[in-house]
C-alpha cells in the first residue's frame, strides 16, 4: 500500500461526541490502580455483553480478497493472503478488554498470530521505534514497538473459538490487552514499522498517545 491512506474515515455525530469527551475529561477519576491487586481499572465498569465501537463503517472483506502488508523499517516487507497468514504460528490467549468509553469485558479468548512473530518474519530494523496500524475503514492508530510486541498481543482471527465477526473487526484485528481498546485496530490491512511516531485517528482527536487504563491515560 502507498504511504498515504487512500481511504477517508467518516465523520459522524458519535465521532464528534467522543472528541468532545476528550475536551471535557469525561470518565476521569484521578485514581490509579494496580493490575496485580485490582482487576478493574479506575473509572471502568464491567459488562457481560460485547459492545461494538467503530466509526460507523464496517467494511466487508472476503477472505479471498483479504491482504495484510507488513512494511516500513523492516528488512523484508511481507504481504500475506489468507492462506499464507493461516500458515503462521498460532497462539491462544485470554485477556480483558478495557474501552476508554468506560466499559470493560473480562476473559476474552483470542486465537491468532502473536505480534512477536510479525517482528521475526519481517525483521525489524534497529531504528524502528513505532508501529502504525492501518485498517480497511481508513482508521489508524499508533503504538511503540514495545507495546506492540507485548507478550499477550496478537493478530486475532477468532474469539471464543469462532471466527471474528465483521462488526468486531474480522477477518483479522489487533489485540493489545494492556492498553485501552482503541489501540486494537479492527479490519487490519497494514502494519507499518516506523522510525517516527504518527498519531492515529483518535490520538489526533484528543485521546492519549499511549492509553494505559491503569493510570487513566484517556486524554491528551
Q: Which region, judged by CB under 5 A, interacts with Mo ion, from 47-55, 102-110, 121-129, 207-215?
A: 47-55
Which one of Mo ion, ligand MTE, none is in contact with 139 (Cβ closer than 5 to 8 A by kind)? ligand MTE
The partner in contact with residue 214, picked from Mo ion, ligand MTE, none with C-beta cut-offs of 5 to 8 angstroms by kind, is none
187: nearest Cα among 205, 198, 201: 201
CA-CA distance, 218 to 220, in Å (whole number)?
Answer: 7
Give, rounded to a whole angstrom, the gap between the first and last alpha carbons of the chain.
30
Which residues fall within 8 angstroms of residue 202, CB to CB, at 6 or more apart?
Answer: 18, 141, 182
Identify residues 41-70 at the interface with ligand MTE (CB under 6 A). Answer: 50-55
33 vs 98, beta carbon nearer ligand MTE? 98
Report yes or no: 97 and 186 within 8 Å, Cβ to Cβ.
no
Q: Pick the closer one to ligand MTE by CB: 72 or 138.
A: 138
Q: How many residues does the chain have?
A: 220
Binding-residue pattern over the window 133 to 172 for ligand MTE, x denoting contact by CB under 6 A: --x-x-x----------------------------xx---
Bridge partner residues of 207 (DSSP): 219
Show the binding pattern over residues 184-213: x = contacts ligand MTE (CB under 6 A), - = does not.
xxxx--------------------------
Q: Which three cell numbers stand for residue 146?
A: 514495545
Cα–Cα dist 214/219, whole Å: 13
The verdict on 99 binding ligand MTE (CB under 6 A) reads yes
Using CB under 6 A, list all residues that contact ligand MTE.
Answer: 50-55, 99, 135, 137, 139, 168-169, 181-182, 184-187
Amino acid at each position: 500500500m502507498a504511504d498515504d491512506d487512500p481511504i477517508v474515515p467518516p465523520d459522524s455525530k458519535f465521532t464528534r461526541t467522543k472528541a468532545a469527551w476528550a475536551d471535557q475529561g469525561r470518565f476521569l477519576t484521578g485514581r490509579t490502580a494496580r493490575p496485580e491487586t485490582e482487576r478493574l481499572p479506575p473509572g471502568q465498569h464491567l459488562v457481560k455483553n460485547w459492545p461494538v465501537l467503530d466509526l460507523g463503517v464496517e467494511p466487508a472483506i472476503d477472505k479471498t480478497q483479504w491482504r495484510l502488508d507488513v512494511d516500513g523499517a523492516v528488512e523484508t516487507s511481507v504481504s500475506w493472503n489468507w492462506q499464507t497468514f493461516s500458515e503462521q504460528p498460532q497462539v491462544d490467549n485470554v485477556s480483558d478488554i478495557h474501552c476508554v468509553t468506560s466499559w470493560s469485558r473480562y476473559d476474552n479468548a483470542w486465537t491468532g498470530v502473536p505480534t512477536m512473530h510479525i517482528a521475526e518474519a519481517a525483521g525489524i530494523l534497529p531504528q524502528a521505534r513505532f508501529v502504525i496500524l492501518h485498517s480497511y475503514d481508513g482508521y489508524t492508530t499508533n503504538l511503540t514497538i514495545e507495546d506492540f510486541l507485548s507478550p499477550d498481543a496478537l493478530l486475532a482471527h477468532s474469539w471464543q473459538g469462532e471466527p471474528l465477526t465483521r462488526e468486531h473487526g474480522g477477518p483479522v484485528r489487533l489485540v493489545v490487552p494492556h492498553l485501552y481498546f482503541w489501540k486494537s485496530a479492527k479490519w487490519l490491512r497494514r502494519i507499518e514499522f516506523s522510525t517516527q511516531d504518527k498519531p492515529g485517528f483518535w490520538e489526533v482527536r484528543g485521546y492519549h498517545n499511549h492509553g494505559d487504563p491503569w493510570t487513566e491515560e484517556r486524554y491528551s
